[in-house]
Structure 1
Amino acid sequence: MRWVIVVFLFFLYIINYADKAIIGYAAVPIMEDLNLTYAQFGMVGSSFYWLFSVAGIIGAALSDKIGTKKMLAIMAIVWTISQMGAFVIYSLPLLIFSRVLLGAFEGPYYATAISHVSKWFPPERRAFAISLVNCGSMVAKLMAPLLVLIVHSYGWRIGFGFLGTLSLIWFILWLMFGREKPEIPISSEEPSGTLPKVKWKEVSKVFLSANFIFTTLAFFSAFWVLSWAFVWMPTYLTKVVHLSPMQMGYIVGGIGVFTALGSVLVAVLSDNLLKKTGSYRKSRVVVAGISLILGSAALFSTTVIHSTIGAIIALGLGLTLVNTMFSIAPQIANHLLPERKGLASGTLIGLANLAGIVGPLATGFVVQLAGNNEVLGFNYSVMLAATILLVFGLIFLIFTNPDKEVVKVSHLVRAQA
């Protein structure tokens, strides 16, 4: 049954990723249809994340109480409503409202999915299982040519409605076949009964620790790059690399395959190191930290490579290395607070997703300030993202050691008694 769960979450991640990515594929048609500037479209891209972080924390914590299966179902049906709402959007405020609503209910998805997977797999297999779920992003990117075709042939509203239909189908099937957890817990980390109430001042010791803060900063840098890829990469490929819309779609699909396969390989390496050494420092921090630093170098190189093929390869390599953080960082957070995985990973992801608010806005203003020199503006935006990645990646690699800090809720409660 656990592999059925992985398949369900894999397909939901396809929808989740495509919901975010389609705004980038439809950027030019939307800007032309609604007469938007780069700065205004940057606000549209940013608006998705305005409630994303807060909702991610609240929703993931709520999933610990009402169950991850129910939380996933609620999210899926709201995605349908939001995407179908595109048919009545004819102004910037309505578009922003739609993206804010979608972002609010996509915010808890990843942490909730991580928590759900953790119920079905032991610690030494979770990064692999999560990386398989993350492969949904690969399929979503493979859908890029289809979505681009729909958007440019039938209109961006049809493209949004198509994704709303997919999430509705998933919702129905999930109610029929989804399961909350196995009858017998597969890990000693899983609580056997109802979790006790925990005082925030106790749990906050984890969230204010150096390990959690540095992991969040590194994850923040990864999300900065991810938000750039969602909102601006399609426009970058058409305006700077000078690809046609359909060529852009195929390149995004190819990068998706490369990114997913590379991320799975790194996740397997990380899992094997954990099984061999038992050290989260060696298996998670070192692997992810080095990946972020190398990813930064690859992104920097895209600004000096003049070959179209070379720039695309460097971009794909950079995104692949950065993407490894998405299967590793939540595991570090869950390790620090194993009995409250939803709260731990939800807080981590919610805080890191603040990059989604700042990043698209910053890119929009940087590109617009460059005036007619769009190439220079986009290159500056890439250099900014790579710099953030390098700085936070180095801090994470040097100072994070989760082996020295694990807090269990039950221990806190017993200490209070």
Structure 2
Amino acid sequence: MTIHTRNKPKSAWTMTALLTGLAMINFLDKIVLGMIAVPLTAELHLSPAEFGLVAGSFFWLFSVSTVVVGFLANRFPARWILLVMAASWAVLQLPQAFASSAAGLLVCRVVLGAAEGPSFPVSVHAIFKWFPDRERNLPVAIINQGAAMGLILAGVGIPLITRQWGWRANFFLLAAVGVVWCALWLCFGREGTLDNAPRLAPADTGASGSLRQPYLKLLTERSVLCVFLLCFSAYWLLGQSLTWLPTWFEKGLGFDGVTSGRCFALVILVGALANIGLSGLSQRMLNGGASSRQARVHLTCVMMIAGALLMFAIAAIELPAGAKLALYAVGGALPMVCLSIAPALLAEMVPTAQRASMVAINTAVASLGAAMGPVVMGRIVQVHGSGNSHAYEIGIAMCAILMTCAALVALSWLHPARAQHTLNRPAQSVAA
């Protein structure tokens, strides 16, 4: 049987569009709880600490399921794995719509988190079957903008839906959207074949073909660990923003519910534009002859430190609400390029046959940051009061410190070319 390995740009971008839609649904599911926090906590009588616990519970099994499904994606078609996941998300919206207690909602969020955890690494693995190494930054950034689209839609739409029909109506709508995506995926979703193409040169493939390495060797390579640390800090920021940003705007900065949603959408829009622009810049640098360390590592770390400095300013300087909003919009946007570039870095360094599992492990480790961030912020708000803007700003400053430390470590130790050479040495065949 002949395997067609020639890259098909039209099909590749069709897959990118479908996976962007999946990311949009994924982040609508994530953000909905933060967007309905005020009416939900009032109806279910939740304290800030309890709400932070419920919100963070989404990530309790996120890591475990991400790793398990990542290993499965090494061996089974990503097309069917993604379909099963998306269908389960749609079904799991319904019990959330009928939740009547913190415990019931917590269970729903834990199960949904387990179902949604593998989405990003499996999507990345699927799209990497359509694009070679030097063309991967941009499609991953576009898929990430599905997340931004979801967050913008949430910021604009969820407050209006909640005001018109109540907070529970959002979950019914999310279930319907999930069903529509599954139908489109069944019609148009395909499996890429680029991984089956002959490996002409390491610079084009970015990894060691199908040669497997012991996972202990992969997971103790310091460049790989640096990628994990960068993503952990970026996910901390992401989890904190998804859970607490609307509440900070409403209770801390004094905006009303609808205005808070629009401000949230504005923050996400700035982040989306920054992510696409910076990812495109990184790709142009690569195609212009820059090394991966220059185009990917240095760019990511500089953006992360710049964002952290802007976030420090929010807590350190007395500013009006509009200025704080502007600083957070830019400061929170710059570090997010990490989430587009990190998968390409890992794919560049690790064997292709173990790419899905390594991207999944990275997502699993990083998602611990998203689980911890909301809880830490909840504790801080509990102590200082939910109506005190300074309480939220303390949490923002803590996140900035974490990102600065991660970037400095990566600037010192993250060397993709060196790691590729180390991980390309012959090793005995190991299990997937």
Q: TM-score, normalised by structure 2?
A: 0.90
| 2:129 and 2:194 in contact (8 A); partners too | no
1:227 to 1:109, Cα distance in 2 relative to 1, 3 A: same
1:29 to 1:397, Cα distance in 2 relative to 1, 3 A: same
Matched letter for residue 261 of structure 2: G
| 1:120 and 1:186 in contact (8 A); partners too | no
Give the Å deviation of 1:372.
6.4
Matched letter for residue 228 of structure 2: T
Q: Aligned equivalents of 2:185 and 2:286: distance in 1?
A: 32
Aligned to 2:80: 70
Consecutive unaligned residues of structure 2, counting only runs of 5 or more, are 1-10, 200-204
Q: Aligned equivalents of 1:411 and 1:17: distance in 2?
A: 40
Q: Aligned equivalents of 2:288 and 2:386: distance in 1?
A: 54
- Match for 1:388 among 358, 380, 402? 402
1:184 to 1:208, Cα distance in 2 relative to 1, 3 A: closer
Percentage of matched positions with identical amino acids: 26
1:31 to 1:92, Cα distance in 2 relative to 1, 3 A: same
CA RMSD of aligned residues (A): 2.2
Q: Secondary structure at the match of 2:25?
A: helix
Matched letter for residue 79 of structure 2: K
Aligned to 2:301: 289
1:372 to 1:30, Cα distance in 2 relative to 1, 3 A: closer
| 2:251 and 2:387 in contact (8 A); partners too | no
Give the Å deviation of 1:141.
2.5
1:228 to 1:330, Cα distance in 2 relative to 1, 3 A: same
Aligned to 2:319: 306
Asked if 1:346 is matched to 2:357, the reply is no
1:371 to 1:319, Cα distance in 2 relative to 1, 3 A: closer
Give the Å deviation of 1:400.
1.1
Q: Secondary structure at the match of 1:156?
A: coil
1:89 to 1:290, Cα distance in 2 relative to 1, 3 A: same
Matched letter for residue 427 of structure 2: L
1:152 to 1:226, Cα distance in 2 relative to 1, 3 A: same
| 1:29 and 1:152 in contact (8 A); partners too | no
| 2:236 and 2:399 in contact (8 A); partners too | yes
Give the Å deviation of 1:257.
1.6
| 1:86 and 1:161 in contact (8 A); partners too | no
| 2:128 and 2:136 in contact (8 A); partners too | yes
Task: List aligned pairs for 1:104-183, cutoff 5 A.
Answer: 104-143=114-153, 144-182=155-193
Give the Å deviation of 1:276.
2.7
| 1:114 and 1:330 in contact (8 A); partners too | yes
- Match for 1:337 among 340, 347, 350? 350
Matched letter for residue 333 of structure 2: T
1:127 to 1:93, Cα distance in 2 relative to 1, 3 A: same
Give the Å deviation of 1:23.
0.8
Aligned to 2:70: 60
Q: Which moved more, 1:133-142 or 1:407-416?
A: 407-416
Count of residues in Structure 1 that have an aligned counterpart in Structure 2: 412
Q: Secondary structure at the match of 1:243?
A: coil
Give the Å deviation of 1:54.
1.4
How big is each residue's C-alpha offset from its partner over 1:354-410, in whole Å with a ceiling of 9 and x where there is no partner?
112211111101110114662221111111111111111111122211110126689
Give the Å deviation of 1:275.
2.2
Q: TM-score, normalised by structure 1?
A: 0.94
Consecutive unaligned residues of structure 1, counting only runs of 5 or more, are none
